[in-house]
A and B are shown apart, each in its own frame.
Chain A
Amino acid sequence: MSLPRRTLIRSTGALLGAVGAGSLLAACGGSSDTPGGTDGAASDATSDTPVEGGTLRAVFAGAGASESLDPFAGTSPVDFVRNDVIYDSLFILRDGAPEPALATDAEPAADGMSFTLRLREGVLWHDGSAFTADDVAHSFRYMSSPDRPLPSELQMYFDMGNVTVEDEHTLTVPTVQPIGDPATMLASFPAKMVRSGATDFSTENAIGTGPYRVAAFEAGRETRLTRFEEYWGGASPTDELVFSSVSDPQARVNAVRTGQADYAGDIPFSTAKAGIEGSDLEIRTAGDTNRTGFAFVLNANRAPFDDPKVRRAARLAVDRARLVETVLLGYGEPGNDLFCKGARYFSEARPLKRDLEEARRLVKEAGAEGAKVVARSAEYEAGYNDSTKLFVQQLREIGLDAEEQIVSLAEFFDPAALEEADSVTFSSSPLPLPVIYGRMAAYPSFALPDDEFGAAFGEAMAARTDAERRTAWAKAQDVMADRGNTVVWGVADILSLARTNVAGIEVRDQAKYPYLGKAGLA
C-alpha cells in the first residue's frame, strides 16, 4: 500500500441552507449554498499518479516567525512537512515498519549496546557534494547538542556524541540501553541528516539530500521549493512546491476553496460535517490506520488513581460513544485504552463497555468515594478541553469529586503541576510503541509504576527479532489493558482538503505531517 487510502466524503449542506440567518456565519465553517446535496457517501478515490511538471501549493498550520529551515528546530506542521522534502532520514517508517533511506542497514551488536550503521552510496547533497559518514556523525552531534532548544530525544537511547566513523559509508553507534531495533528508533524520531559542519540554516545554506531544494523562505509565510534533479530516490514529478503557513483552520479551508492553494492539511471536523461545495474539491481522511488517539492519562502515583480499581472504574465510566459523537463529530471510533492503534505490535483488545454500576462498586471498594480528581487540560489540539469537560461529568457520575483544570498552553506541561494533577488530557498519533511508552516512562506523572509492565517494556526494547518483540509488546499491553493508566477513549480521523487532481501524497510517520516528496497534480 504505497498510497494512503483516500476517502472521499461529501456531506450535505442542507442543514445550513435551511437556516437563512446563517449566510453570514457560513464563512466560519464553510457550507454549501445548494440545499439537499448528495449525502455522505464515502468512497475510495482513484489512485491517480501525478504528471510531470507544474506547481503544487499546500497550506499547513505554521509557527509564525519562529519557523525554521533547521530540521531540528521546527515544531509546527509546516516545518515538519517542508523539512521532510528538503532533508532525508536514515530510515523512514512505512506502515509502521522501518525502511532504508540514507542508511541501508543498522545491525545491533550481540549485547545490544551498539550498532553498525551502513550508508547508501551515491547520494548527493543539493550542492553536488557526496553524502558520507562524517555528515552522519556531525548530524548526530548537532541534533543532540545540549545548547539546542530541542535536543534530540534519540539521546535517551543512543550515545550520540561518541559515534565512530569506520569508513566513508560505515559508522558504529554506541547505545545507552540495549536496543534491538535501532532502525525503528532512527525512523521514529526526527533525525534528518545535514552536511558535515552545517550549523547555519539560512535560505542559501539549507542544504539537504531530499527531493526538493529551497528557492525562497520566509518564516510564517511561504516556502518555495524546486525539484532536485539528482535526488537518489529518483526525481519528483512536480517542478515546484509552495508551502504557505496558515494557522487558522478555516483560513486554510478558504485558501483551497478559492483556488489559492491545492491542498490543506488538518481541517476541522465541523468543516467536513458541514460539507464543501465545488466538484473539484474533496475532503480526504488519512485512513483508519492513521488516526490520532485521544486520551486521559491517569496519575498512577497519587490517590485515588494509584489504586488499580479506581483506574479501572474511570475506564468503565468514560462514555466513549458520547465522546466520539461530540468531540470528533463521529469522525473516528471508540478506543480500547491503548495508545497507537495502527502501529506495529498494537494489541487489538476490545474497548471496555460502559458500566456505571460496576464502576461505582469499584470506587466504593477502593474507599475512594468523593475523592478529589483534578483533570488538567489545555487546547494543545482541538478537542482537548471539550473532552475533558465531558470526562469530568462522567467521573462525577461514579462518585468521584472531579473538576477540570483548564490552563494555557504555556503552563500545560509544567512538570510540577502535572504531578499534582490526577488526569492529564493527551493524544498521540500511531507512533511506534517504543516511542510512546518511552515518552510516558520519562514522565513521573505519566509512568505506570508496575514491575511486570516495566520488565515487558525493557524486554521489548532489547528484543532482536520480530517474534520476540511481538511477544514482549503483547505482554506489556496486556498489563496496560488490565490495570493501565491510559484511558484512550477514541481514535480520530485526520482530515485534509484537496483538489481532486492532487495525487501522490504519502503518510510516513504521522498523517498530520504527510510526505509531499512524490506528490503532484494528476
Chain B
Amino acid sequence: MTLLAGPVGRRLALRVATGGALLAVLSLLVFVGVDLLPGDPVTARLGPNATPERVAELRAARGLDEPVLTRYAQWLGGLLRGDPGTSFSGKPVSEMLADRVGHSALLAGLCVLLLVPVSLAAGLYAARRPGKPADRTVSTGALLLVSVPEFVIASGLVLLFAVGLGLLPAVSLIPAGDHPIRHPDMLVMPVLSLLLVASAYSIRVIRACAVSVLAGPRVEFLRLTGVRERTILRTAVVPAVLPVAVQVWLVTGVGLVGGAVLVERVFAYPGVGDLLVTAVLGGDLPVVQAIVMILGAAMLLALVLADLAVVLLTPRLRTGGAV
C-alpha cells in the first residue's frame, strides 16, 4: 500500500478526478444526444393509437415541450438524488434497472473470469510458435469464431446441448424472485457464447504482443544466457503482455454488460443489453439515458483501473519515472 502514497497514488487520485469530470461531460452528451435520437418517445409509446391530439396531450404531460437544457437540469438533479426518473411505461427507471444491471454484470464477470486464463494461454501458445501450424490453428480458430455472429454460435450451442443432448436448459427461464446465480445450469450457455465470441480479440492482441516481445532483444539476451523457456515466459513475456491484455479484458468485460444483446435474446436472459435495445426501439428515453450513464460510469471506472494496471505492471512507470 505504500505504492498508493507515492507517485502511483497521486496519479490515481488525478485519474479519479478526471474520471468524475468526464462523467459530468458524458451526462450532458448522453442526455442531449439521446434526446436527438430519431423518433418521438410519445408516438413510439402510443403506437398505432397515436392520434395527434393525444400526442400533444402526452407531450405536455411529460414536460417534453420544455427546452432540452431545462430538462437536463431536472434530470441531473434527480440523478444526484438517486432518482433517474420515470420510464414512458409509467414505471420508475430505478425499479426497471434494479436487477438487470446485476444480472448482466454477473454474466460479463463470469465471462471475463474465464477469458483471462483462456486468452492468455491460447495467445502465448500461439505466439511461441509464430507461423507454425499451431499458431495458425489458434489464430484461424479465433478468427472463425469472431466471424460467425454470436447468435449463430449461441443457437448452435442450444441445438447441441439443449435440444440434442438435453444436458442444459435451452432458455434461461429464471423463476420470479430468484437470482440467476442460483441457477448455474442456465448460465453455462450464455457465458460460453460470450466467451467464444469475446476471446478472439484478446487472443489475437496477446499473441501479437507476445510475438513482438519474444522476437525482441531482451528475450534473446535471456536465451543466450541459458534461461529456460518457461522462465523467460514467466519473467519477460507475461509481464510485458499484461498491460495490454488488461486493457482488452477490462474494456471487453464492461462492453459485455450492455453489449450482449443478442445472446441475452437467444437465451431470454434478463439482462440490461436487451433492455437498452428495447428502450431505444421503443423511444423510452429515460431508460436509455439511465442505462447509458451506468454503462458509461462503469467503463470510465474500468479505464481508470486499466491505467492503474499499466502503471503497476510497467516497472519504469511504477517507480515514478513517468509522473
Contacts and interface: CB of A to CB of B under 8 A. Distances in A.
A413 B38 CA distance: 12
Interface string B280-291: 111110010000
Contact of A66 (B39, B49, B89, B280): B89
A410 B91 contact: no
Contacts, number: 181
Contacts of A443: 51
B278 to A, nearest CB: 5
22 contacts: A25-B155, A26-B159, A59-B173, A65-B97, A68-B90, A218-B176, A221-B174, A224-B175, A247-B278, A248-B266, A251-B265, A255-B171, A258-B170, A408-B281, A410-B41, A411-B39, A412-B43, A412-B44, A413-B43, A413-B48, A415-B43, A444-B52
Q: Which 10 A-B pairs have the closest CB atoms?
A: A410-B39, A27-B159, A66-B89, A410-B283, A65-B96, A218-B176, A411-B39, A254-B170, A27-B155, A216-B176
B171 A414 contact: no
Interface in B87-128: 87-91, 95-97, 99-100
A410 B159 CA distance: 33
Interface of A: 23-28, 59, 63-66, 68, 70, 73, 75, 146-151, 153, 216-224, 244-248, 250-251, 254-255, 257-258, 260-261, 380, 407-415, 426, 439, 442-444
Given A68-B91, A222-B175, A258-B169, A248 B44 contact: no
B170 A257 contact: yes
Contacts of A27: 155-156, 158-159, 163
Nearest to B262: A248
Contacts of B52: 415, 444
Nearest to B49: A153
B166 interface: yes
Nearest to A147: B61
A63 B47 CA distance: 14
B30 interface: no
Contacts of B96: 64-66, 219
B192 interface: no
B49 A150 contact: yes
Q: How many B residues touch the partner, as a band?
A: 35 or more
Contacts of A59: 171, 173
Interface stretch (B133-141, B229-237, B267-275, B297-305): B267-275
Interface string B164-183: 00100111011111000000
Contacts of A153: 49
Nearest to B166: A258
Given A149-B89, A220-B100, A408-B39, 9 more contacts: A65-B95, A65-B287, A149-B90, A151-B54, A223-B176, A244-B268, A248-B266, A407-B39, A412-B43
Given A75-B47, A247-B274, A255-B171, A65 B91 contact: yes
A68 B96 CA distance: 11
Contacts of B265: 247-248, 251
Contacts of B281: 408-410
Given A28-B155, A65-B96, A244 B43 contact: no
Nearest to A156: B51
Contacts of A75: 47, 89
A75 B278 CA distance: 13
Contact of A65 (B55, B61, B158, B275): B275
Most chain B CB inside 10 Å of its own CB: which residue of A218, A246, A248, A444: A248
B166 to A, nearest CB: 7
B45 interface: yes
Nearest to A62: B268
B64 interface: no
B55 A255 contact: no
A24 B144 CA distance: 14
B44 A251 contact: no
Given A66-B284, A73-B89, A254-B171, A25 B40 contact: no
B152 A24 contact: yes
Interface in B18-40: 37-40
Most chain B CB inside 10 Å of its own CB: which residue of A70, A221, A410: A410
Nearest to A219: B96
Contacts of B38: 407-408, 410-411
A217 to B, nearest CB: 6
B176 A257 contact: no
Contact of A64 (B48, B155, B177, B275): B275
Contacts of A250: 155, 266
Interface in B39-79: 39-41, 43-52, 54-55, 57-58, 61
A59 B275 CA distance: 18
Contacts of A223: 176
Contacts of A409: 39, 44, 281-283
A399 B51 CA distance: 33
Given A24-B152, A66-B91, A248-B266, A258 B51 contact: no
B290 to A, nearest CB: 11
Contacts of B248: none
B162 interface: yes
Contacts of B162: 254, 258
Most chain A CB inside 10 Å of its own CB: which residue of B166, B267, B281: B281
Contacts of B275: 64-65, 220
Nearest to B44: A410
